[in-house]
């Protein structure tokens, strides 16, 4: 997983929905209640601890794993809970009201299986996919590079010698790239161009020839680690390749990118709801000239705009999710529409929420300060708004026969 935008330039990507299985409504309602209770209770305690220390402790990963929160979205055959995509989004919305690093862990682990599973052999499913779904092995998505974009122009390369690839090049902005067990890494065969020469490799974190630099000092999403990796002929078994030679970008972008964009969009809704909640609570308690701020029409209008903004984005996201599950040809365009709409909404809502708090909101003692910082990161995940607009326009051209 990276926090830099990814352009799906190159091969025409075929993205299909997973099984439409779902958890029975009564059981799902109990799960929603359980997650909500955790987010407002232990989740807030973790948030305070992370902000105070600047680190996400391993104990948090353990707690999330033991509660089953890292295996919710995957199908039962992989050890997951078998939620439908729309059900998963409902939980993503709740988790996103918590600390951004909590949301990041849950989002990433519940999503990387989508990239691996369609291309994995049965042996690879047992070695990589199921342990990842169970939360026993951490897999970091490694696509972004420092010297180019994030698509068919990747330059990290491999040379094959018998049953071994020798990996050279750099990756950066790799979320969980420091603490992971494997990098799910896209590279290309040395001398190749375009998507035809790309490969996807499960690279062990402790591979020789790899230098890992911790670049975790970010504006928000405190505690989530990010890595810059440099490879100098690092040996990777050919058996660790997912799919065939030429499938690298299909693995990295194919069945993973679209639902992940929708999931990130829903995380914007959850964080915006948290900002709105904080703003409303503050406005009802803050008294000026003997009246609460909620008596001021200017504040009423800001809160009303926020409420409408959040609901509009949420409904577009749910529409995109349903279209993807149904295998609609519009799913790709709708996923980008949802992501760019949700990100813009989140910016407006958190800005309004901070404004309602006045000067006090600028202090780190106010929760809205953290929410405001964390919201800015959403603009980069799974593609910037500029990338989303490119995708939407490209699909528009197709629909017009241009």
Domain 25-134 fold is Butyryl-Coa Dehydrogenase, subunit A; domain 1 (1.10.540)
String of DSSP letters for 153-205? T---EEEEETTEEEEEEEEEEEETTTT-SEEEEEEEETT--TGGGEEEEEEET
CATH number of 139-249: 2.40.110.10
Query: CA-CA distance, 99 to 52, in Å (whole number)?
Result: 12
190-244: pLDDT as tens digits: 999 988 899 999 999 999 999 999 999 999 999 999 999 999 999 999 999 999 9
Quote the pLDDT of residue 270: 98
CATH number of 256-399: 1.20.140.10
Quote the pLDDT of residue 3: 44
- Which long-range contacts link 288-297 to residues 24+ away (Cβ below 8 Å)? 293/356
Domains 139-249 and 256-399 share a fold: no
348-382: pLDDT as tens digits: 999 999 999 999 999 999 999 999 999 999 999 98
Q: How many residues does the chain have?
A: 402
Query: CA-CA distance, 108 to 155, in Å (whole number)?
Result: 24
Would you list the domain boundaries of the chain? 25-134, 139-249, 256-399
């Amino acid at each position: 997983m990276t926090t830099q935008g990814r352009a799906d330039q190159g091969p025409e990507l075929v993205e299909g929905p997973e099984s439409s299985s779902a958890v029975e409504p009564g059981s799902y309602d109990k799960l929603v209640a359980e997650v909500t209770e955790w987010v407002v209770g232990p989740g807030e305690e973790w948030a305070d601890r992370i902000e105070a220390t600047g680190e996400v402790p391993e104990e948090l990963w353990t707690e999330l794993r033991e509660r089953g929160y890292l295996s919710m979205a995957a199908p039962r055959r992989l050890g997951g809970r078998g939620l439908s995509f729309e059900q998963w989004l409902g939980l993503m919305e709740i988790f996103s009201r918590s600390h951004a690093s909590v949301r990041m862990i849950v989002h990433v682990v519940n999503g990387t299986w989508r990239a691996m599973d369609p291309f994995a052999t049965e042996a690879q499913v047992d070695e990589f996919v199921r342990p990842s779904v169970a939360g026993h092995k951490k897999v970091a998505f490694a696509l972004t590079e420092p010297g180019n974009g994030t698509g068919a122009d990747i330059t990290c390369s491999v040379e094959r010698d018998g049953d071994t690839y020798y990996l050279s090049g750099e990756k950066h902005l790799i979320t969980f790239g420091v603490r992971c067990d494997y990098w799910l890494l896209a590279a290309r065969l040395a001398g190749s161009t375009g998507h035809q020469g790309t490969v996807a490799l499960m690279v062990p974190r402790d591979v020789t020839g790899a230098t890992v630099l911790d670049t975790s000092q970010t504006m928000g999403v405190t505690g989530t680690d990010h890595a810059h990796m440099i490879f100098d002929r690092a040996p990777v078994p050919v058996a660790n390749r997912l799919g065939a030679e030429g499938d690298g970008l299909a693995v990295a972008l194919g069945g993973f990118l679209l639902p992940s964009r929708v999931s990130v969009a829903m995380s914007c809704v959850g964080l915006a709801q948290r900002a709105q909640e904080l703003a409303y609570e503050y406005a009802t308690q803050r008294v000026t000239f003997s009246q609460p701020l909620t008596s001021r029409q200017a504040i009423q209008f800001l809160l009303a705009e926020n409420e409408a903004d959040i609901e509009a984005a949420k409904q577009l996201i749910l529409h995109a999710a349903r279209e993807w599950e149904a295998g609609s040809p519009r799913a790709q365009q709708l996923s980008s529409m949802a992501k760019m709409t949700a990100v813009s909404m989140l910016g407006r809502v958190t800005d309004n929420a901070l404004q309602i708090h006045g000067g006090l909101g600028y202090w780190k003692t106010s929760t809205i300060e953290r929410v405001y910082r964390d919201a800015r990161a959403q603009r980069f995940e799974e593609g910037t708004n500029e990338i989303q607009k490119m995708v939407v326009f490209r699909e528009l051209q197709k629909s017009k026969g241009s």
